[in-house]
Chain A
Amino acid sequence: MKIIGYTLLVLVGILLVIPDTSSAIPAFARKYGFNCNMCHVGFTKLNDFGQRVRDDGYQIPGQEGREKNVFQVAPPISMRTSTGLMVSHYRKSMSSSFTINGLDLLAAGVMHKNISFLVIYTPRIDEPAGDYSGPDDGANPSQLGGFESANIVFSNLIPDALNIRVGRFEPAYHPFSSKRSYYLLQPYEVYTFTTPNNDFVFDDNQLGVEATGHFPVGFKYGVGVVNGSGGNPDINNAKDIYANVFQTIGRGDGQTAGQRIGAFGYYGWQPTTRVGWYVGNEGSTDGKNNVGFYRVGGDVSLNWRTFNLMGLIMTGKDDKKLNEDYPNADYEFTGGFLRLDWAGLPNNRLAASAMFNWVNYPPSYSRPGLSRTGSGLVRYYLGDWTAVNIALHAEYTYREVVGGDEDHSAAMFIDFDF
């Protein structure tokens, strides 16, 4: 059976090579006439140039006010999705399914000099519209989609040193963006790890206000105040705070050149009492009796030629009142990942990556104490000099919870945007 499954994967891979390339390009590339790899190592991962454009509020550094705004270009709307075949092996049973792996509808651009925006709408696509039978249907019946991002950026309030982002955004305390990771199956596990009785997910985009800045010496910072759960409304009336710093040694931003080290910290409050989930005038719920939790960590990104080694370690601690298993002890965990990316072929047409994730949490608790994941992927990009915006994507991941389950997943996707 396993042989049949992998044979099927190869056949699907061959079929995926057949589609014509698209000449369409995403909104930013379309605006500038750039190939995707101007800003990306290979989409979706940003290179140093792309990172600087993002840091400058989606403006090319040094050209603020001298590039087209949203009123001078075609509607800056883009789409990204991936579709393909996924095979899973879990508890000695194998399953396979053709699948659509998410859909992002993006709009972004410069509105006026130093004022820009980003909106990402992610409609629910887990079943065809014809099957939808109302709010009682499906696993997440309360909504049919959501805004992954919706924010305005006020850039260069102090040139380079102060930029303000307001709305829902990917917070600066993510040293490595999970939203722009090559991996489609395997997230950064420590980002998505949740602790008992705490709604906070490190990986979530956040609602709030963030200040960021960068300096010619290679130093960057970010500080923010956010709801905490990524939700709207907030789950309590206490806001969470965070800060992060980076220092890059050598030229570059640590994405594809330069060596970068960083540290980050997040402190939040989580309610232990919720009565009726009443939404108050301020948009917060009636969550009360807040107790604290934190996440702190360090990260490093090392570059040599087209190799990029990323490492992150994070520790978290929730107040014991949030520890439903052992209420007399704080809930503590540690986790991280090591990831090695490589890009090859002219214009980085080929990308490969290997990653190891782990999360370690108290083994005496009811849940097993260590998860380990090994993943690998290869992406090959199609397109021409105007855009390489179609990726043939093969990914494998093996995950085990020590003393518990283990599972394998493999997938072949075609990932594209325009």
Chain B
Amino acid sequence: MARVWFHLIIGLLLLSPVVFAEEPPVPPITTSTSYSLGPVQVGNLSAAPIPPGNPQSGAKIELGKKLYFDTRLSKDNTVSCATCHSPSMGWSDEGPTSKGIDGQRGGRRAPPVSNSAYNPLQFWDGRAPSLEEQAKGPIENPVEMGNTHQAMIQTVGSIPGYREEFLKVFGTSPVTIDQVADAIAAFERTVVTTDSPFDRYAVGDDGAMTPLEKKGLEIFNGKGHCTACHWSGHFSDGRFHNLGVAQTDPSKPDQGRYDVTNDPADMGAFKTPTVRDAATRPPYLHDGSEKTLEDVVRLYNLGGGPDDANLDPLMVPLQLNEGEIKALVAFMTRAMTSVNPEVSNVKPIPQSELPR
């Protein structure tokens, strides 16, 4: 018996390096410390994080707004940021996936710009570490704006009105791609929705939500398991999960986060979107495959989509009944829809009013 114990103890000692070894370096998941540890309770949004390298100013935000709505950023002057991230469509588009120049359709749905300032990583696969980096991507994407950074800079730099504004905001000339990205990102950081019935309920206004919506919130934070990923004031963990969604084109599978990390655990995983204002921008999921919020809840109720290959371990059937589904949808539909006038009243700037 003593011999058995001797070997058991030796075995455990041999295993100990596995436990105590220095963990391999993992790329930081976020520059925002609020997302480094979680989950944390859902609640009100704090102020949007502003990176030290791109401080906000009124002139920069105004410049960014003009660029955001300017189709001249695209190769054929037909597509602006707002084409796929339209204020009237919940800062996304009609979907199911987005349409770029020459009517080309991309493989993924346009993520909302509203509250994107709170995302630690941008794009569905998190390939951009900041809004500034994100803003540069679609300009060069052949399916989206189809331009080059150089050509776009030449176009913007050739417009006297823009030249003047860039000089005023950044104090240097000529216009650079970084300045364009900084200005657009500065504007996007103002698109923040903080005033929903839930926000008022969370600070003590008991009448802000209906009894059904309150039931929905309870299920959202309980039996529905929603806050396992949709947590914090942003209602998103900023992380990546595989929901088992069937591939639109199995011959060209969308590998999601895996394309960025090459980590098999990330195969088919996509970033958790915020639930805030979700009702304003159907359809849902990275490929727009679910038409309504109720469809999304029913997908989760089954424990995810049909693809089991790398299903997230958090996905389990929920056993929600019809009443619970109705309550969850009610909570996400009205109680999570904001009425911030500075965001909901944003109107596209007509091309004729843009700098000339």
Residues of A within 8 A of B (CB): 32-38, 47-49, 52, 60-63, 65-68, 72, 113-115, 154, 157, 164, 209, 216, 225, 237-239, 251-253, 256-258, 303, 305-306, 343, 346-348, 384-386, 388
Contact = CB atoms under 8 A, between A and B. Distances in A.
A32 B39 contact: yes
A65 B215 CA distance: 32
Contact of A49 (B38, B228, B231): B228
9 contacts: A32-B227, A35-B222, A38-B227, A52-B314, A63-B39, A63-B239, A65-B23, A346-B215, A346-B323
Interface string B4-28: 0000100010010011000100100
A252 B222 contact: no
Which of B26, B39, B324 is most buried by chain A, counting CB atoms within 10 A of its CB?
B39
Given A49-B228, A67-B37, A348 B1 contact: no
By CB atoms of chain B within 10 A, which of A36, A63, A164, A347 has the most? A347
Nearest to B38: A67
Nearest to B216: A346
Given A67-B38, A388-B222, 16 more contacts: A32-B38, A32-B231, A33-B227, A34-B41, A37-B222, A38-B227, A47-B223, A49-B228, A52-B313, A62-B314, A65-B23, A157-B15, A209-B8, A251-B304, A252-B317, A347-B222
B323 A257 contact: no
A386 B221 contact: yes
A252 B314 contact: no
Contacts of A72: 37
List the 5 closest pairs (A to B, CB-CB), nearest first: A33-B41, A37-B222, A35-B222, A61-B313, A257-B317
A263 to B, nearest CB: 23
B19 A385 contact: no
Contacts of B311: 216, 251
A256 B303 contact: no
A115 B19 contact: yes
Interface string B32-69: 00001111111100000000000000000000000000
Contacts of B318: 257
A311 to B, nearest CB: 20
B319 interface: yes
B42 A33 contact: yes
Contacts of A384: 218
Contacts of A38: 221-223, 225, 227-228
Residue of B8, B220, B303 with most chain A CB atoms under a 10 A cut-off: B303
Contacts of A32: 38-41, 227, 231
Contacts of B29: 66
B316 A252 contact: yes
Interface in B242-287: 265
Contacts of A305: 319, 321
B221 A34 contact: yes
B244 to A, nearest CB: 9
Given A38-B227, A115-B19, A237-B1, A346 B218 contact: yes
B316 A36 contact: no
Contacts of B43: 33
Given A257-B316, A305-B321, A385-B214, A239 B42 contact: no
Interface string B306-348: 0000011111111101011001000000000000000000000
Contacts of B223: 37-38, 47, 347-348
Contacts of B156: none
A410 B191 CA distance: 59
B318 to A, nearest CB: 8
B81 interface: no
Contacts of A237: 1
Given A157-B19, A347-B215, A34 B1 contact: no
Task: Report which residue of A37, A63, A66, A385 has the largest number of chain B beta carbons within 10 angstroms of its beta carbon.
Answer: A385
B1 A225 contact: no
Contacts of A258: 317
Nearest to A162: B15
Nearest to A257: B317
A38 B26 CA distance: 29
B145 interface: no
Given A33-B42, A251-B316, A257-B303, A346 B227 contact: no
A60 B215 contact: no
A37 B321 CA distance: 15
Contacts of B221: 33-35, 38, 385-386
Contacts of B219: 346-347
Contacts of B222: 34-38, 347-348, 385, 388
B236 to A, nearest CB: 14
A212 B309 CA distance: 23
Contact of B36 (A62, A66, A114, A388): A66
Contacts of A115: 19
Contact of B327 (A47, A68, A346): A346
B40 A114 contact: no
Contacts of B186: none
B217 interface: yes
A72 B40 CA distance: 12
